[in-house]
A and B are shown apart, each in its own frame.
Chain A
Amino acid sequence: MPREETPAKGPLIYRQSTWTRATHWIWAICLFFLLLTGLQIFNAYPKLEIGVESGFEYDNAFFEIGARRGADEIQGFTRLFGREFDTTGVLGFSNGRAQGFPAAVTIPSTRSLATGRLIHFFFAWLLVGTLTVWFVASLLNGHMRQVLPRGADFRALGRDITDHARLRFHHGRHYGALQKLTYALVMLILLPLMILTGLSMSPWFNAVVPWLLDVFGGRPTARTLHFLVMLLLTGFFIVHVVMVLASGPLNGLRSMLSGWYRIDPAPEADADRPDRKET
């Protein structure tokens, strides 16, 4: 499976700049803490709603985690679009406590909205700073051009998807079509959306930039979008790690640690890359 075991080795190329590598690992750390403190914060009000306010005398929640006293013990439940599921032990009630997400996936493990928020905002600032550095550095050193998909990438997309499905990975000089699309989506759409929906929950930010709240459709809706984008980012993380493991983890890790990446030996392996360049 991993290409570096094949006898004929391709050349090592310097693929990832220091900027790309440093920012990659910093926001890997950021996203880890943001996710787990985010689940802690969610637990303080374990509902997702649509609207300009929360419904206390009417119902505008489509997702809710809760606990209630059952016949002889406390039950955890999860309600999604009116359908209810018994999630005792995982969601709603776990480790003998009534709580939304279980202690295993919240920081801190104990219930502490205050500490969760403190850590969340610290890493939120770090994420914003890192994303800014990445953006500027990528514009200056040409990395942005490697990430942004072009027309040829969209034409090569079908083929790239088939190849991925067959676990046939290309180790080219440049990112493949799927890679470009995914990275562009994460870096240029999902992460900025995460920051903006997060800011839209701030009453101060709402006063300064009121129109953004209208774009998102209200504070509870912005909170819901923040949660949904979190799910997408978590999905990306899982797929990303699986792809690294499947396509040659050592080569992938080396390129993200030292910058050096071994590409496929035969030139024809790279022939179908739309953006192939001879150097």
Chain B
Amino acid sequence: MPRTSIDRRTFLRRGLIGASSLALGGCQILDSVNRRDSTLRDIFQSASGLTHGAQRLLGGDQTLAREYSRADIRQSQHPNGSVWPTGEDYRQMALDGFADFELSVTGLVEAPLTLSRGALMAMPARTQITRHDCVEGWSCIAEWTGVPLGHVLDLARPRPNARYVVFHCHDAIERSLSGPIHYYESIDMVDAHHPQTILAYGMNGAPLPIANGAPLRVRVERQLGYKMAKYIHTIELVESFANLGFGRGSYWADRGYEWYAGI
């Protein structure tokens, strides 16, 4: 009998010490995962691949994101990230009302393209009222007008080895010693050919505002906001991310966010 109670007391004491150190240190025990080279991070990252796989498996390629009605637009689209690119090229173009804007389509394509703003706006357009979901946790409904990316890709004729569509942008959130680090994003060919994936030049019935990505941004409606690159000047088709940034396929993926942002 005494043995039991000593055991219990010891057990409880140890348990409490263990539990309290876990609780107090709880905040810090996984801080190492912040490091990009952490092995633990790779383990946790494996779940992200599982998410992408499960979503492709269950979701199909063509399911549409919810489209809302005009009555659901109660405010202007909340801008986030870059709201005014600072580069001289961009500034000049903005002053001219983006009249001289040209979109380049390069990389693994049979027919590289240079498309003026007018040429883009003359293409078949799609208008959709959708909800923009930010990784931070907020949502905002707006109407977007643009040309389906699939249409532009059909004109450029991707080569068979093209696996990703990369968007190169004017804006830079930070600077490195060698200059500004420009925003870039990428999506796979499935999302690139999704009917709601459009290169938007209009928003809520007006030209796309600068804060929301003028003159051209992409909408990828089944993923989070950071995938929908703003201020796009070049679309490049690639086979891998090896030659881009830190090799993870997007500015934010290079900084630890999931490349596939369907969740």
Residues of A within 8 A of B (CB): 2, 4-5, 32-33, 36, 41-42, 44-45, 47, 52-58, 103-110, 112-115, 117-119, 121-122, 124-125, 199, 201-208, 210, 213, 218-220, 223, 249-250, 253
Contacts of B110 in A (CB 8 A): none
Whether, in the assembled complex, B209 has its beta carbon less than 8 Å from a beta carbon of chain A, the answer is no
Report the bound CA distance from A119 to B46 in whole Å.
10
Q: Which of A44, A117, A199, A249 has the most CB of B within 10 A?
A: A117
Partner of A53, one of B11, B26, B139, B221: B139
CB closest chain-A residue, reference B8? A250
Contact between chains at B8 and A249 (CB < 8 Å): yes
Partner of A203, one of B136, B140, B223: B223
Contact between chains at A58 and B75 (CB < 8 Å): yes
Contact between chains at B263 and A250 (CB < 8 Å): no
Contacts of A122 in B (CB 8 A): 43-44, 46-47
Contact between chains at A205 and B28 (CB < 8 Å): no
Closest CB in chain B relative to A206 CB, distance in Å: 6
Closest CB in chain B relative to A130 CB, distance in Å: 14
Contacts of B64 in A (CB 8 A): 207
Contacts of B41 in A (CB 8 A): 115, 118
Q: Which of A41, A42, A57, A115 has the most CB of B within 10 A?
A: A115
Kindly list 14 other residue pairs between chains A and B, CB separation below 8 angstroms, not including A53-B72, A203-B222: A45-B138, A57-B74, A58-B74, A113-B135, A113-B257, A115-B34, A115-B41, A205-B263, A207-B64, A207-B65, A208-B63, A210-B66, A220-B139, A249-B12
Partner of A45, one of B137, B141, B255: B137
Residues of B within 8 A of A (CB): 1, 4-5, 7-8, 11-12, 24, 26-31, 33-34, 41, 43-48, 50-51, 55, 58-60, 63-66, 68, 72, 74-76, 78, 131, 133-141, 221-224, 252, 255-258, 262-263
* Closest A-B pairs by Cβ, 3 of them: A204-B262, A114-B256, A45-B137
Contacts of A201 in B (CB 8 A): 133, 137, 263
Contacts of A44 in B (CB 8 A): 135-137
Q: If A56-B75, A57-B76, A108-B34 touch, does A203 touch B65 (CB 8 Å cutoff)?
A: yes
Report the bound CA distance from A44 to B136 in whole Å.
5
Contact between chains at A108 and B30 (CB < 8 Å): yes
CB closest chain-B residue, reference A106? B27
Q: If A32-B26, A115-B256, A122-B47 touch, does A204 touch B135 (CB 8 Å cutoff)?
A: no
Contact between chains at B47 and A203 (CB < 8 Å): no
Report the bound CA distance from A210 to B262 in whole Å.
14
CB closest chain-A residue, reference B59? A208
Report the bound CA distance from A210 to B66 in whole Å.
7
Closest CB in chain A relative to B49 CB, distance in Å: 11
CB closest chain-A residue, reference B138? A54
Contacts of A219 in B (CB 8 A): 131, 133, 139
Closest CB in chain A relative to B48 CB, distance in Å: 7
Partner of B257, one of A52, A106, A114: A114
Closest CB in chain A relative to B192 CB, distance in Å: 16
Q: If A57-B75, A121-B48 touch, does A42 touch B263 (CB 8 Å cutoff)?
A: no
* A-B contacts, 27 listed (Cβ < 8 Å): A5-B1, A32-B26, A36-B27, A52-B72, A52-B139, A52-B141, A53-B141, A56-B140, A58-B74, A105-B26, A107-B30, A108-B34, A110-B34, A112-B256, A113-B136, A114-B252, A114-B256, A115-B30, A118-B33, A119-B44, A125-B47, A203-B222, A204-B262, A205-B263, A206-B65, A249-B8, A250-B4
